[in-house]
Structures are given as C-alpha cells and as structure tokens.
Structure 1
Amino acid sequence: MAMTASYDHGRSAPGDAAAEGAGAPQVCPVLGTDEAAAYTDYVYTETLLSLQRPRTGESAELSFIITTQVMELLFRLIRHHWEEARDALEADDTASALAALRRGTGPQDVLVESWSMLATLTPAEFDRFRDALGVASGVQSAGYRQLEFLLGNKSAGMARAQRGLPVAGTELERTLAEPGLYDAALRLLRRRGMTVPDEVAERDWSRPYKPDPRVERAWAEVYADERPGNDLLQLAEVLMDTAERVTRWRHRHLMAVKRSMGAKPGTGGSSGLDWLARNAAQDVFPELWSLRTGV
C-alpha cells in the first residue's frame, strides 16, 4: 500500500483531512521568512554553528571542539542551578534549594555522558591535532573553575589566572570571595541548632574547604532523624546526588585522557593523568561521605 510522506521539506502536501482528524501525522506547516528567522534569532543558531573552527585537517578535531563547547554550556547551566540553591539556603528556603539542586542533576548527567562523544578518540587521532591546542587546557576553563569554587575547592591562584578575561575573571573573583554551596548548607545547619563550629560557618571563603569531625557529627544528627518531613535529611541526600555526579564526571575525564594520550603531560603543563587521578579521588562534601562509615 502506497504511503504519503508526512513532511515535504517545509511545504504543505496534499493530505486526507479525515485521516488527519483521526490522529494521523499532520503535514509540516509552511513557514514565512519572518517565522523561520524567529527561531534562529532566539537561539542564535547561526552564531552558535559558526564557532566550530578546527585548526587542522583531522576529522576528530571537530568532535573534540563540539564536545568541549557542549561542556562549557553545561557548566553554565549547572552553575545557574547551584547558585540558585546556595542563595536559597542562605535565605532559609530549603524547598527552593532542593528544587534547584534536583534540576541541576539532569545537566550533570548529560555532562557525564558527554565524554562518550570522545570515547573513540585514538592516540593517533589526538596527536594529529594536539599541537594546534598549544597550551590550551581544560584546567584553564573559567566555567569549570566556577563549579569547583562552588563545591568548596577554592584557589586564589586559579582566580588570578583568569584576570585577563574581563567578565569571567570578575565573576570568578566574586565566587572566590563568597560562600560556596556546601558552606551555605552548613550555615543552615548551624541556624537550625546543629553543632557547626564558628570557624567553619564563618570561615575565610577564599580558602579551600577542609573537613572537620564536628561537621561530620552535625550531619550524623541530621541522619539520626529519619522522619519523612526532615528537610535537612532531604538536603543531605540531594547534595550526595550532586557530589556523586561530580565524581563520575571527574572519573570519565580521567578515563578519556588515559585512553587518548596515556600518561603524557597535559597541554596546559599539568601532570596530566596524575593530576586528574588526584582530583577524581577527592570527595565532594567530604563529611557526607565519611559519616557513612559510622552509621
């Protein structure tokens, strides 16, 4: 039996009105010039698709560039959700913080899976365009560094390195000086009567977070109350969802580098594999992990 195509390159095709009314697929609508441009103008499609500019003839370089750009967009979206969550915690709005963190797990999952786009990159393919990167390295990404700062991995040196970027550098300096996501959670615990010490709740935000056994005990108090309405327990578990996805992304990064370049030094001058392995082994929100041994 012959079938009529539902889509005809943007032109309306003759169709059976009765069949369409019965639930058959409708033909693609005819778009005017203004309507067709509306989508492109809103999404900046032409600008977006003009930003992939390989520097070599190696086919795999396009995959590398697009994957990196997708990650940068996801960094921006995740940062948006984490900052919303942090600000909500500072305002004692736990419900909004939980919602923002849960919204953030979707982009985190996509971020983790984005490494699959580079899963088949061979050492030979990477070598054919690696010199075109020069000293460029993911460690220099201001977007990624924003996320690390929000997680408590502060570094004044990393912020100084971005001062040549007027917008990104200023934003990173601001994030360096502000409480991170975990800081806001601990400050909320303290306001709720948990035994979070002053030197943790009002610490120097520009310094990296250091685990404290008293903070572990405070979280243990939270976990001891298993009532369904315990919003602090819900917060702890959603923070764990966030932390676990960060570790997954770090590990996928480690595996992608190990597969494509082995133990060679990183393009930005880092120790490459060793640096990534240490980063992957570092717990995010450490007391939420350590308390589990004693529960």
Structure 2
Amino acid sequence: MTEKTAMTDRNSAEQAYSDFTRSLSYGDYLHLNELRAAHQPITPAHDEHLFIAVHHVSEVWLGLIVRETQAAMRLLEQGITDAPLKMLTRVVRAQEQMTNAWEVLKTMTPSDYLEFRSAFGQASGFQSQNYRMVEFLLGNRNPVMLRPHAHRPDLHDPLKAVMEAPSVYDLALRLLAARGLNIPDTVLNRDYAQKYERDEAVVEAWLTVYRDTDTYWDLYELAEKLMDVEDNFRRWRFNHMTTVERTIGFKRGSGGTSGAGYLRQALNIVLFPELWEVRTRL
C-alpha cells in the first residue's frame, strides 16, 4: 500500500464508528427520540411546525442563560469577578441567538398564524418559567408574575426563591460596597422581591468606577458586561414586540395581555438604571 493510499484510508468514512450496541450514539446521547416526540403540532397547519420549533429552541437557550447567570452569580457572591465575565459573555451570545430566532418566525404571515392560533387556547410565552427566571435573575421582579405557575410547585417555588434573593445587579453593588464605595444600606438590604429603584448614591459610586478605571478595572469590566446583557435583552424584547405586531397587530395576546401593547410598554423597563445614567453624567 502506498503512503497516499494509506492516507486516503485514514480519511475514509469507513473509519467512522458504526457499532453502537454497547456505547452511546449521537442520538442516544442527545435523546433525539424524546426531542422529536416533544414536537407535537395539534393542527394540520404547515406553519405550526415552525411556531413550535422556534419556541422549543428559545426555551433551550433560556435554560442555558439561566444556568450561566446563576453560575456567574455564585462566583460574584464569593467576590470573584473574572470568571463570571466569561459566563455572562456566553449569556450575551445566547441572547443573540434568541433574537435571531424572531427573524425566522417573521416568515410566518398573519394568515398562516390564524390557521392554528385558536387551537392552543390560552397558552402563551408569558407563562414561560425559563423566561420569568431570567427576568428575576436580572432584577425585574413582580410577585404577580408568579401566578401563572401557582398550579405547579415545581415551577413556582424555584421562581419564588430567586425573586426573594439578590439579583445579579444586587451582587455587583455588594462588590462595590466591599471595595469601599458608598452603597447605602437601604440598597444593600432592600426587599429583593420588589423591582430595583434607582439610587443617587449608586450613580455616584459607578461614576467613581468609570472615572478611575485603572483602580477599578474589574468592576468596570463587570459593569460593561452587564450593559451588554441588558442591551441584548432590550433587542430581544423589541424584536418580540415587532414580531407580534407584524403577526397579529394589536389583538389581545393568547395569554390574556394586550399583546403588542403590553410588549411595547415592557420596552420601558430598565434593569440597571445607574449604569445607563453614568453615560450622561460622565
């Protein structure tokens, strides 16, 4: 056998493993049978397949965002700032994928959607436990949002626990306080179940960080990464709103909200107000 023939044989598809009677195959490892079984349209409408696929994929990305955010928060609680940046960068990249998913869903016209919309009744992304978990972790808290999960303790209780614990921004403010910056006790020991409210002393603390980045480089990097997260979250919400408006106009949403109107109002939510205000005050 020539050297060239031997190289060809090594590169041949014949070299790939083909006997999986005693080991995991790709499909086994990913449980693809279960994944495909979960894709269950309830009407003959062609675009219902698209609708389900986009929401399935989004839920997987949301699950990853929850996991990475919580991992970053565990490290921030220990005063570690470098490793969380990698995890939050992964959150940002996952957010980008979710935002791009709306572009695929926009290929569904209003007429396409009306072929199956009535079939799933009151089911709505408003009821997504993963999405609500992301909002709670980032600090957008509202006890009313627990209600859709009251019938499922396995969903309700983890959400309630996160809502009553510090958000990722609360942990960032604790780091500022630990570095000697003035963060009031009313901020550090607030009722975490409520939405965070802007505080002038916190603005001043972040201004100190941004005016002396050499001294506070790690906090400065963390602040900018949090800005990346909120920036992408805003883009996702905006694309969600325009997709809904493009598909159903201003009809009421299946989950009972006003639909596009509710989503438009949500665009005004600010998660890290002082980090946005710093831009004006510098």
Q: Do the two structures share a fold, i.e. TM-score over 0.5? A: yes
Q: Tell me the residue number matched to 1:87.
A: 74
Superposition deviation, residue 49 in structure 1:
0.9
Question: Structure 2 matches for 1:60-209, cutoff 5 A?
Answer: 60-209=47-196
Counterpart contact for 1:159–1:176, Cα < 8 Å: no
CA distance in 2, matches of 1:30, 1:72: 32
Unpaired runs of 5+ residues, structure 1, are 1-15
CA distance in 2, matches of 1:261, 1:232: 43
TM-score normalised over the length of structure 2: 0.93
Structure 1 residues 58 and 77, CA, compared in 2 at 3 Å: closer, same or farther?
Answer: same
Q: Tell me the residue number matched to 1:10.
A: none
CA distance in 2, matches of 1:265, 1:251: 18
Deviation digits for residues 102-148 of structure 1 (CA, Å, limit 9, x no counterpart): 22222111111111220211111111111012011111111100011
Superposition deviation, residue 60 in structure 1:
0.6
Counterpart contact for 1:20–1:26, Cα < 8 Å: no
1:18 pairs with 2:4: yes
Structure 1 residues 228 and 52, CA, compared in 2 at 3 Å: closer, same or farther?
Answer: farther
Q: Tell me the residue number matched to 1:265.
A: 252
CA distance in 1, matches of 2:124, 2:140: 19
Whichever residue aligns with residue 244 of structure 1, its letter is D
Deviation digits for residues 186-237 of structure 1 (CA, Å, limit 9, x no counterpart): 1111111111111111111111111122211111111011228710001111
Residue 183 of structure 1: SS of its match in structure 2?
A: helix
Whichever residue aligns with residue 292 of structure 1, its letter is R
CA distance in 2, matches of 1:35, 1:248: 46
Superposition deviation, residue 168 in structure 1:
1.6
Which residue of the other structure, out of 30, 42, 55, is the alignment partner of 2:42? 55
Q: Tell me the residue number matched to 1:275.
A: 262
Whichever residue aligns with residue 87 of structure 2, its letter is A
1:234 pairs with 2:221: yes
Deviation digits for residues 61-109 of structure 1 (CA, Å, limit 9, x no counterpart): 1110010011111111001111111121111011122222122222111
Whichever residue aligns with residue 4 of structure 2, its letter is A
Counterpart contact for 2:237–2:263, Cα < 8 Å: yes
CA distance in 2, matches of 1:149, 1:122: 32
Whichever residue aligns with residue 138 of structure 2, its letter is L
CA distance in 2, matches of 1:269, 1:96: 41
Q: Tell me the residue number matched to 1:7.
A: none
Question: Which structure would you say has the larger RCO, counting Cα contacts within 8 Å and 6 or more residues apart?
Answer: 2
TM-score normalised over the length of structure 1: 0.89
Once the two structures are overlaid, the 10-residue window that deviates more, 275-284 or 28-37, is 28-37
CA distance in 2, matches of 1:63, 1:19: 46
Residue 198 of structure 2: SS of its match in structure 1?
A: coil
CA distance in 2, matches of 1:38, 1:184: 42
CA distance in 2, matches of 1:57, 1:139: 25
Counterpart contact for 1:86–1:185, Cα < 8 Å: no
Counterpart contact for 2:203–2:275, Cα < 8 Å: yes
Aligned residues: CA RMSD: 2.1
Residue 248 of structure 1: SS of its match in structure 2?
A: helix
Matched residue pairs, number? 281
CA distance in 2, matches of 1:266, 1:78: 25
**Percent identity of paired positions between Structure 1 and Structure 2:** 35
Unpaired runs of 5+ residues, structure 2, are none
Counterpart contact for 2:209–2:216, Cα < 8 Å: no
Whichever residue aligns with residue 13 of structure 2, its letter is V
Once the two structures are overlaid, the 10-residue window that deviates more, 200-209 or 164-173, is 164-173
CA distance in 2, matches of 1:275, 1:17: 68
Superposition deviation, residue 37 in structure 1:
4.7
Counterpart contact for 1:88–1:94, Cα < 8 Å: yes
Q: Tell me the residue number matched to 2:275.
A: 288
Superposition deviation, residue 23 in structure 1:
10
1:27 pairs with 2:36: no
Deviation digits for residues 248-286 of structure 1 (CA, Å, limit 9, x no counterpart): 110110111011111111111101111101112322311
Counterpart contact for 1:247–1:284, Cα < 8 Å: no
Whichever residue aligns with residue 7 of structure 2, its letter is G
